[in-house]
């Protein structure tokens, strides 16, 4: 391989947001905010993603977060919605995401934790 022809590497990008309520629009709005911020901070578009996994806490069941992703152009990206473990005392109304994408090997993913969810990963310098 010649110099300058780096093979892209698969990255995992994490994030979380808290929905205001358990209703369709709150879940969709929170998911849109999270995905938009993840793409902005990492210079990504919907087409850059290989797959995306969403989880929700048990108290969110009014809508699938993947619906928001489809509305944002993730039409050809495999999406999966699942349940987060129900750990006593854990934060309520949380939508988490794990997105996979290719980037140059020296890329540094900037994970996104919005609002109160920053407490979930206070160890990340990119959490704000």
Kindly list the domain boundaries of the chain, sorted by start residue: 9-116
- Mean pLDDT confidence for 49-62: 98
Is 9-116 a domain of CATH 3.30.1330.40? yes
The predicted structure's pLDDT at residue 4 = 57
The whole-chain average pLDDT of the chain stands at: 92
Q: What is the pTM of this model?
A: 0.90
Residues β-bridged to residue 12:
100
How large is the C-alpha radius of gyration of the chain? 15
Q: How far is CA 94 from the centre of its chain?
A: 11
Q: 76 pLDDT exceeds 70?
A: yes
């Amino acid at each position: 391989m010649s110099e300058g022809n780096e093979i892209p590497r698969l990255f995992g990008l994490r994030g979380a947001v808290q929905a205001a309520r358990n209703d369709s629009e709150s879940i969709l709005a929170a998911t849109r905010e999270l995905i938009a911020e993840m793409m902005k901070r990492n210079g990504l578009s919907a087409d850059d993603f290989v797959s995306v996994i969403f989880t929700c806490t048990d108290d969110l069941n009014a809508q699938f977060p993947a619906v928001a992703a489809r509305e944002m152009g993730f039409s050809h990206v495999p999406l999966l919605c699942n349940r987060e473990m129900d750990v006593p005392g854990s934060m309520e109304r949380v939508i988490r995401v794990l997105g996979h994408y290719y980037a140059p090997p020296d890329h540094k993913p900037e994970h996104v934790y919005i609002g109160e969810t920053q407490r979930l990963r206070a160890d990340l310098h990119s959490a704000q």
